[in-house]
Each structure stands twice: as structure tokens, then as C-alpha cells.
Chain A
Amino acid sequence: MGSRREWLCGVLGRFYGKALVLYPAAFREEFGAEMRQFFRDDCRRTVRASGAAGLLWLGIRAVFDVARSAPGVHMEIVRQDVRFAWRMLCSAKGFTMTAVAALALGIGANGTIFSLVNGILIRPLPFPDSGRLVMIWDRNPKGIERNKVSPPNFVDYRAGTKSMAGVTAFYEDTASLLGASEPEHVTSCLVSPEFFDVLGVKPLWGAGLAGEASVPAAVLSHSLWERRFAGDPGAIGRSLRIDGREYAIRGVMPPDFRFPTRETAVWTTMPFDPARFSRQAHFLGVVGRLKPGASLAQARAELQVVAAGMAREYPASNRGWGVTAVPLQEQVVATARTSLLVFLGAVGFVLLIACANTANLLLARATQREGEMAVRMALGAGTVRLARQMVTESVLLALLGGAAGLAVTVASVAGLKVLHPASIPRLDEVTAGGWVVAFTLAMSLAAGLACGLAPAWRISRTDLNAGLKEGGPNRKSFAGHGMRGLLIMSEVALSVLLMLGAGLLMRTFLHLQRLDPGFDAGRAVTLTVDMPPVRYGGAPQRAALLEEAAARVRALPGVEAAGLISNLPLTGGEGFNRFGFRIEGRDDSAATGDYRFYARWITPGYLRGMAIPLLRGRDFSNADRDGAPPVVIVDSALASRWFPHENPVGKLLRLSYAPAEPREIVGVAREVRLLGLDTEPAPQIYIPALQEARFPTMTLVVRSALPPEAAAASARAALRGIDRNLPVYDVRPLAELVADSIAARRFRTLLMGALAALALFLAAVGVYGVMSSMAGERLREIGIRMALGARRPDILLLIVRQGMKHALAGAAGGLAAALLLTRALTGLLYGVSRLDGWSFAAAAATVLAAAFLACLVPALKAARVDPLGALRR
């Protein structure tokens, strides 16, 4: 053969050698040399037979050969690894089940929180092109960004924004439905006519509210339509009596339309001209839809121009006010965002602990299997192949865990929906769907790789000779010890973090529960009464009913006090009842700005019913009625702010909603946390409901020695005794109302507590696992120590100390990390510092106690070992 041909063969051979990279390393290790030899043989034979042209042909065929066979070889190795891994997992059932259970809990918890995050924060709102919907707020002079909008401001915003295709306003109210069937009390929403067009949702049947109408129009929710009209499309055009007025039913919304809330049952047009309303009455929610191509920034700029114009034109009401615009989605989920992100972090930690557990189990097994691995290596299996085998095992394990975790996710999402904490917006839209499955798969793969890395690294450093010496103490095991110590540390650190999070939330919750709301929630029940306008259309009729109701209930056996109020503290909807006031005889030029209060209309007996102490002056009496001199009671929050050094009783106030007549302060009541337990008491003024019977809906408070059910039943009977057709609803103990007001916090605290408990459990199991295997590996050493005179307590101490050294380091690390990480919790805490010493100490102590127990059990086992038996091993 010519030397040129020889050279050509050499070049081709080298190229072929390079191409072998496309095969898996394990395959290359096994067959690479042979394949190169094979190719060389082929080259030589081809050259001999058909010269250089043949070589070219051979080269081309080799390219195809590699391309065709390499993927199959890859698959084959994976298949073999999986089959082998499956056999290993099946043969060690206890190990497999423990690891799968830990991973299933970790992955399932992640899947659950991700379902929430996906359904609530990520998925667009269920409106067409919902990304273009924008919520508009008045920004008040004190810097509160999101104030409800006053009706005339809304009209100006609507007129002044060219970047918006439409702007609509709405506010929530309650309504009594009367008619053929039972009187029913529902949540209603009063809207401007373009409401449904701006949201972009067409009614399922009929039309929306746009256009002129001779009678007031109403659109029904799907569930109300099914309930009251048995789903009959013929309901369109029929009439419905809402609060005593006739409304023509214009349309029925689809079942998934739930705006502004899922409870909203009926939408009607606002019964007033917004342009003629007070600019100081901020109670409208406003939503705009950006035109295609228009940006939020553009809309904001336009709105700012409008707001600046209003401030110039109406300084009395609008000076200092501005405007805020945020995407609707951000608005809807704003309350849930912080806690969801915190929980996403928390479940991430739980999964890390589960991974650490599994990694440790795998590591312990890798140590046990050192002999087997050494044999396989001696038989020619490469370290890459064995490491790959370990990773395959852990990925398979994690995928099994993921499958079980998905079941956990589906179950807990279903459970959450059953519990349905009112505090989670959009919970109806949460499903464990495709994205959740994809997320779970990705989590499982990541967890599998993470768990497999430690044992794979361990295998890759197995010392062949040491491994083959049967039962001999393996020096390299100490490297394994180091890694397992690290696992204990991280498990302890992570669970300290979660425990601390749960502790801080718990302390916040307990603090709120112990907090004095300003009234006594025990032994009182509340009932809400509707006074249908047909029979109680005027203030005199309503006042008469209120007086009669309070008197009759007060006369019931066991009743200590009873009275009515326009709306109870802690129930929200405060935008309506906030007004300005002036103090007669005081010259305050800035009277419009700061002088604001929350108004409450009450009957005599309400304050005693709530056990709100009267600090000065007198309570209202039945003599404080229409025609008598107007009077008010202020609360101590108002008194201490505006009358710090004088007695307010006897002073005269003018209220902005009816500034003509001065009202005399006749009493000072103690302040109440009316906006929420976690909000400082705000200035309040009580107005006699008998003097100003403005509201068709009032809530009765009954303080009674009887059990709540009995008290409520007799009060209801007394009301029915006055008027058989009076709708009475929302009957519940006052304590329940207080509890409901912190339901969101209770839910968060419980969820975080559950995650922390899960973390603690996993970490304890993990530490136990590590210590058991480490103690098991030291049995021989223990035997020697005992033979040399060590006593059982010494052995106990030896093992416990080894474990607790790592646990203490981990707890210290966890606390150090907490100094930074608790910052994420700040928004969720109240009355407790994020660096609360007690919580830090308790979290560390709890986890260390669990770790101690987890070390103690294997230590006791080790101390009980028979020294002779151990030595013989």
C-alpha cells in the first residue's frame, strides 16, 4: 500500500475517533478502541479494493452510521440503567418507600403552592385581553396611593383619557330581593352603563346595561338566575323587585363571571348622576381598558393631567389629591402576592430538606454498596457509568416521588377548595392542570439530579482496593461523613428557618387575638335586618321600627343590652361612611384635609350591647330623635386628637355631609378598632339612628346571658313579631366576626405551621437516618472502645456529640440566614419584630430538641451493642 493511502487512512481514522464523542462515555470506554480498530480494518480493506474513491465513500457511510446508531446507544444505556435502577429500588423496599414518601411530601407541597401561584398570580384574569385592564384610584394628600374614586372624579377621568377605550365605575352594596319566592339578601354591584363592555364580557343571555331604559335594569349572576328562575332564559325582560323597586331583567352573566367578587349576585346601574355627586365621597372602584397599542404609562400621564386640572378647578375638594393606575391583575391579587411568594420560598425549603434526606439515604446505600461497586469496576465498568447509574436511580426515585407528589397536590388543592378560605382571591380558578404537571415533572427531575449528585461523586472516588477488602474500614468513608454532616447541617438550618417563620406568624396571630378590639366580643350575637322600602320608605317608619325592635329585644329574658348600628366594626366597606367635620368656634383653614372621621349611626343601647365604655357624658336616649336638638357621641381617638386638653362634651361639630346644622357632643365613647384588628383605632363619630334613620339595613347587637343560639333565636322571633316579612340574616356570634376578620392570618399561620411541622418531621427523619448509618459504620470502633474500657454513657455521648455538633452548627446557620430572610415576612407581621428574640430561641430550641431525639435513638442502639460481637464483625 502506498504511503499516501496509508496517510489518508490515518486521517480518516482520527476523524472517526473524534466522532465517537457522540456516543455515551460508558459505551466509548467499553467499545471505543474496538470501533477504531474496526474502522481501521475497513479503511485498509477498502483502499486495497477500490482506492481513494472507496475511502471517500467509506467516510460518508461512517457519518451516516454514527448518526443512525448513536441515539439508539444512548437510549439503550438509559434503558439499561433504568431497568437496573428499578431492580435495585424494588429489592430495597424500605429504603425506596422512605425516600419516595419524603420526596412526595416535598414535591406535593411545592405543587400545591405552585397551583396557587399559577392560578392566582400568573394566569391572566378571566376577561378577554385582561392585560389591558387598569384599575384607577384617587391618591390622597397623605400619600395613601389607593383611595376609592369620587363619582365626579370618575366622570372626569372617563372624559379625559384618550388612551382608554372605556372607563367604568362600580361599587358594592347589598340588596333584598322580594317577589314570589322567599325574600333573599344578596350582594349587589352598582355600576356605570359601560361596565360589561369595558370588562369585555358578554352576557350569556340577553344584553348588558348600556343604553337608555325606561325602567331601571338589572343583570343577574348565573347562580342567582338558576336559583330564582330555575335557569329559564324566559326570565329576560321579566321584572325583579330589588329593595322594593321594580327592575327589568336585562341579561344573565356566564357562570365564571365573578367581578368584583364571587358573591356578586346582581348588577344594576347606579341610581344617581355621578357628575352631580360630592367630590369628597370616595367610594367608587374604577376600571379602564387601554386601547390597543396604548401603554399604561400613556394612560397614567393623561390621568395625571386630569387630576392636576381637578385640583386647580376644585381646590376645596381636590387640592393635594392625585391619581394612581395599576394593572387590574396586580390589584386583584395584591393582598395574596406577598404571602404566596413567602410560601413558595417555604415549600422550596421543604423540598430541599426532602432532597437532603434522599441524598443521605442514597449516600448511606452507596457506602453499603461500595463492595458491589468495586466488583463492578474491577469487571471493567467505568466510574462514569457507575456514577450515571447512581443518578439514574435517584432520578427514577424522584420521578416516583413526583408521581405520588402529584397525587398529594391534587388532593390538597381539592382540600383547599373545600376549606375555601375567603382570604384567597381567585381560588375558584385554581386547578392542578397542565402547568402544574409540568412544574411537578421539572421539580422531580431537578430533585432527582440534586439527590443523585452526592452519591455519584462518592462513587466516582471509590477506592477500588479498599472497597474490595471485605468489611475493611474504609478511609474514604470519612469523606462521606463530611458530606453527611453537611446534610444534617442544612436540614437543621432549613427547618429552623421554617419554624421561625411559623413562630413569627403565630406570635402575630396570638398578639392580634389578645388585642383589645375596644369592645367585648363575648356573649353577644349580631343579626342584620333589612327594612324593605315598600313598608319602610321614609325615615319616620324606619326610626319607629328601630325603636320598637330595640325595645322588644331588650325586654327578652336574659338580655342585658341591645341596640342597632349602621355597620359593625371590622366588616369593611368604610369608604362610604367617611366624612369631614369642623369644630364650631375653632378657626381651621385646613378644615377639609385632616378633619375626617368614620360615621356610625346607632340606636340607644348599642354601646352597652358591645360593652364599649362611655368615658364621659351620656349615651343616646330615645329622646334623641327627629326634631330634637342634633347630638353626637365622639370616640376617644377623635377626642384625644382634637380635644387633647379639654372636655369635648358640650362642644359643637358640623359634619360635611350636612354642614347646615351644628351638633352637640353629648358623650365620649372608648375608641374601637373598626378597620381591622391590625389597624390602629381611627376617629369615629356616632350619630343617633333615631334622629337620622338613613339606612335601610341595620345590624342588631344583643348581649345576653343565654347561649348565642338561644339569644339569636329569641331576638329573631321578637323581630318577626313586629313584622313577619322582615328579612333577618347574617346571624352570628360577635366573636365569630372578630375571628373572621383575621381569617386570612389564621390561614397563613396554619399553612406555615403545617409546612414547618412537615420540615421538622423530614429533618428529624433525616438526622435519624444519617446518625443510624454513621453509628452502624462505627460499630467496630465502638467495640474496640468498649473493649478498652469505655462505658455505655461514653458511647452514648460519643454518638450524640457527633450529631449535635452538626445540628448546632446548622441551627446557628439557620438563625444567621434568618436575620436576612425574615425581611420577606415583614409585611405579614403585626406587633412582633421580625427579629423577635423569643421566636428565634423557640425555633432553634424546637429543632434542636427534635435533632437531639433523632441522635439519641441511634446512640442508644450503639451503646447497647455487644462489644465482642462488634469486634468479630
Chain B
Amino acid sequence: MPSEIQKKLPLLPAVFHIMLALADGEKHGYGIKREVEFRTGGVVSLGPGTLYGTLQRMLAEELIAECGERSDAEGERRRYYRLTEAGRQLAAAEAGRLENLVQVARVKAILATPGNA
């Protein structure tokens, strides 16, 4: 793994959540929030300031990109965002890092191995 990517790890939780939300397709801001909320069972709830502050930084670092404005299902104009290739690589790196940690936790029997439960 290139060390440039390594240097950016670990990611802020908000950044990783946004990456995961965009991993299966482009979404608008509120759509990202809904997805994150749904996936975490409401534990992580991104406020607008936090979300757009993070989006702005990710745009500047070219981890995500805008893919224009269009109307959503309810007919409102919204701006959509997508994960860039660099973003996808970084997300993968973070996931790998977490996976390693989980592995360690399993070996040390802090976390039960799936199937042995």
C-alpha cells in the first residue's frame, strides 16, 4: 500500500461513514445522512454543518467529486456527490486497517470469532 495513503489514516469517523455511504452510488447531502443514520441504527447522526464541513474538505482533497445538480424523486433540485477513485482506495485502506485491528481483537479473544459464537 502506498505510504501516502497510509499517512492519511486513521480517517475521521464522519469521513469514513460518508465514503461508505457513497460506495454504492452517488447521493445528495441529505441522502448521505439518511444512509448513515439507517446503517448505524440512528447512533451516528450527521448534522448539516458537520456533513458539509466534511464534504468541503473531502472535495478539496479530491476524495469525492460533485456530479452535477438534478431533481430527485420528489422533484427537488439537489447536488449529487460521488466517491472518486482516490477516495475509494482510501476507504479500502481504512477498512483494511480496521480489519487488522479486529483480527488482533479476535486473537486476543476480546471479540468472538464468527461461527464460534
Determine the residue in chain B with the shortest Cβ distance to A83: B60
CB distance from A805 to the nearest CB of B (A): 46
A31 touches B47 (CB 8 A): no
Chain A nearest CB, measured from B48 CB (Å): 4
In the complex, are the beta carbons of A38 and B29 less than 8 A apart? yes
Query: Number of contacts between A and B (CB, 8 Å)?
Result: 63
Whether A791 is near chain B, meaning CB under 8 Å from some CB there, is no
Question: Is A66's CB within 8 Å of the partner chain B?
Answer: yes
Question: CB distance B56 to A38 under 8 Å?
Answer: no
Tell me if A70 is interfacial: C-beta within 8 Å of chain B. yes
User: Which residues of chain B are near A39, meaning CB under 8 Å?
Assistant: 48
**B52 and A34: CB pair below 8 A?**
yes
Contact with A along B48-89 (1 / 0, CB 8 A): 111111011100100000000000000010110000000000
A21 interfacial by beta-carbon distance below 8 Å: no
* B70-111 CB contacts (< 8 Å) to partner A: 76, 78-79
* Docked pose: A522 CA to B49 CA in angstroms: 83
Chain A, Cβ-Cβ closest to B60: A80
Q: A34-B29, A38-B33 are in contact. Are A65 and B50 (CB under 8 A)?
A: yes
Shortest C-beta distance, B80 to chain A (Å), equals 11
B14 → A minimal CB distance (Å): 10
Within 8 A of A (CB), among B20-68: 28-30, 33, 45, 47-53, 55-57, 60
Q: Which residue of A lies closest to B61 (CB)?
A: A80
Within 8 A of B (CB), among A71-124: 72-73, 76, 80
Distance in angstroms between the alpha carbons of A61 and B48 in the assembled complex: 10
Contacts of B51 in A (CB 8 A): 38
Contact flag A76-B52 (CB < 8 Å), given A61-B47, A65-B47: no
- Determine the residue in chain A with the shortest Cβ distance to B52: A31
Decide if A31 touches B56 in the complex (CB within 8 Å). yes
Q: How far is the CB of A37 from chain B (nearest CB, A)?
A: 7
Assembled-state Cα–Cα distance A70/B50 (Å): 8
* Given A37-B76, A42-B30; A76-B49 close (CB under 8 Å): no
Contact A64–B56 (Cβ < 8 Å):
no
Is the CB–CB distance between A35 and B60 below 8 Å?
no
On chain A, the residues within 8 Å of B55 by CB distance are 31
How far is the CB of B57 from the nearest CB of chain A, in Å? 5
Kindly state the separation between the CA atoms of A31 and B51 in the bound complex, as whole angstroms: 11
* Nearest CB in chain B to that of A35: its residue: B48
Instruction: Please tell me if the beta carbons of B47 and A73 are within 8 angstroms of each other in the complex.
Output: no
Q: Could you tell me if A34 and B47 are in contact, using CB atoms closer than 8 angstroms?
A: no
B49–A35 touching, CB < 8 Å: yes
**Known contacts A34-B29, A37-B76, A38-B29, A69 near B50 by CB under 8 Å:** yes
| A residues less than 8 Å from B45 (CB atoms) | 61
Q: Are A69 and B53 in contact (CB under 8 A)?
A: yes
Q: Chain A: how many interface residues by the 8 Å CB criterion?
A: 24
Whether A73 pairs with B53 at a CB distance below 8 angstroms is yes
Inter-subunit contact A30/B30 (CB<8 Å):
no
Give complex CA distance A521, B52 in Å.
Answer: 82
A64 touches which one: B28, B33, B47, B76 (CB < 8 A)? B47
Is A62 in the interface zone, CB < 8 Å from B?
yes
Give the interface residue-count category, chain B. 10 to 19
Inter-chain contact A62/B48, CB cutoff 8 Å: yes
Q: Are A37 and B30 in contact (CB under 8 A)?
A: yes
The CA-CA distance from A39 to B52 in the complex, in Å, is 12
A41 at the interface (CB under 8 A from B): yes
A73 to B59, CA, bound (A): 13
Q: Is A27's CB within 8 Å of the partner chain B?
A: yes
B residues in contact with A42, CB < 8 Å:
30, 33, 48
A724 at interface, CB cutoff 8 A? no
Max count, chain A CB within 10 A of own CB: residue among B30, B53, B55, B57: B53
Instruction: Give the residue of A30, A41, A68 whose beta carbon is less than 8 angstroms from that of B49.
Output: A68
Residues of chain A with a CB closer than 8 A to B30's CB: 37-38, 41-42
Known contacts A41-B30, A76-B60, A80-B60; decide if A34 and B79 are in contact (CB<8 Å): yes
Give the distance in Å from the alpha carbon of A16 to the alpha carbon of B33 in the complex. Answer: 18
Cβ-defined partner of B48 (8 Å) among A30, A38, A76, A80: A38
Roughly how many angstroms separate A61 CA and B76 CA in the complex, as a whole number?
25
Query: CB-CB < 8 A to B60: which residues of A?
Result: 76, 80
Contact (A70, B47) CB under 8 Å given A38-B29, A38-B30, A76-B57: no
Q: Which of B28, B49, B56, B79 has a CB less than 8 Å from the CB of A65?
A: B49
| B50:A27 contact, CB within 8 angstroms | no
What's the nearest-Cβ distance from chain A to residue B15, in Å?
A: 12
CB-contacts of A1-28 with B (<8 A): 16, 23, 27
A354 and B13 CA atoms in complex are apart in Å by: 47
Chain B residues whose C-beta falls within 8 Å of the C-beta of A62 in the assembled complex: 47-48
Give Cα distance in the complex from A502 to B20, angstroms. 70
Shortest B77–chain A CB gap in Å is 9
Q: Which residues of B contact A16 (CB under 8 A)?
A: 48
Q: Is the CB of A30 within 8 A of B56?
A: yes
Are B50 and A68 touching (Cβ within 8 A)?
yes
Cα-based distance from A37 to B47 in the complex (angstroms): 12
Cβ-defined partner of A69 (8 Å) among B29, B49, B76, B78: B49
A window 610-629: CB within 8 A of B: none
Alpha-carbon gap, A736 to B41, bound state (A): 92
How far apart sit A69 and B55, CA to CA, in the bound complex (Å)?
A: 12
User: In the assembled complex, how far is the CB of residue A737 from the closest CB belonging to chain B, in whole angstroms?
Assistant: 70
Smallest CB–CB gap between A112 and chain B, Å?
41
Interface centre among A23, A38, A76 (most CB of B within 10 A): A38
Within 8 Å CB of B52, what residues of A? 27, 31, 34-35, 38, 69
- Identify the closest chain B residue to A62 (Cβ): B47
In the assembled complex, the CB of A23 is this many whole angstroms from the nearest CB of chain B, namely: 8
Q: How far is the CA of A126 from the CA of B62 in the complex (A)?
A: 59
Assess whether A70 is in contact with B49, with CB atoms less than 8 Å apart: yes
- Residue of B33, B52, B60, B79 with most chain A CB atoms under a 10 A cut-off: B52
How many whole Å from B34's CB to the nearest CB in chain A? 8
The answer for the CA separation of A61 and B53 in the assembled complex, in Å, is 16
A81 to chain B, nearest CB (A): 11
Question: In the complex, which residues of chain B have a beta carbon less than 8 angstroms from the beta carbon of A64?
Answer: 47
Listed residue (A30, A41, A70, A76) with the most chain B CB atoms within 10 angstroms of its CB: A41
With A and B bound together, what is the CA distance between A30 and B55 in angstroms?
11
**CA gap between A27 and B47 in the complex, in Å:** 16
Contacts of B78 in A (CB 8 A): 34, 37
Q: Give the one of A35, A39, A61 with max B CB within 10 A.
A: A35
A379 vs chain B, min Cβ distance (A): 11
State which residues 261-317 of A face B: CB under 8 Å: none
- Complex CA–CA separation, A23 to B49 (angstroms): 9
Nearest A residue (CB) for B59 = A30
Chain B residue nearest to A41 in the complex (CB): B30
B49 touches A73 (CB 8 A): yes
Closest B residue to A76 by CB, please name it. Answer: B57
Find A66's partner among B28, B49, B79 (CB 8 Å cutoff): B49
Alpha-carbon gap, A221 to B53, bound state (A): 66
Tell me the complex Cα distance, A70–B52, Å: 10
Nearest Cβ distance between residue B38 and chain A, in whole angstroms? 12
Chain A hits for B28, CB < 8 A: 34
CA distance A664 to B45 in the complex (A): 110
Task: Determine the chain A residues whose CB is within 8 A of the CB of B56 once the complex forms.
Answer: 27, 30-31, 73, 76
Q: How far is the CB of B61 from chain A (nearest CB, A)?
A: 10
Give complex CA distance A73, B58 in Å. Answer: 12
| A38 and B45 alpha carbons, distance in the complex (Å) | 13
Q: How far is the CA of A76 from the CA of B55 in the complex (A)?
A: 11
10 A-B residue pairs with CB within 8 Å: A27-B56, A34-B79, A38-B48, A38-B51, A42-B48, A65-B47, A65-B50, A66-B49, A69-B50, A73-B53
Chain B contacts to A: CB under 8 angstroms: 28-30, 33, 45, 47-53, 55-57, 60, 76, 78-79
Query: Which 9 residue pairs across A and B have the least CB separation, nearest first?
Result: A65-B47, A69-B49, A69-B53, A31-B52, A35-B48, A65-B49, A38-B48, A73-B53, A41-B30
Residues of A within 8 A of B (CB): 16, 23, 27, 30-31, 34-35, 37-39, 41-42, 61-62, 64-66, 68-70, 72-73, 76, 80
Besides A34-B28, A38-B29, A66-B47, 5 other CB < 8 A contacts? A42-B48, A61-B45, A62-B48, A64-B47, A69-B47
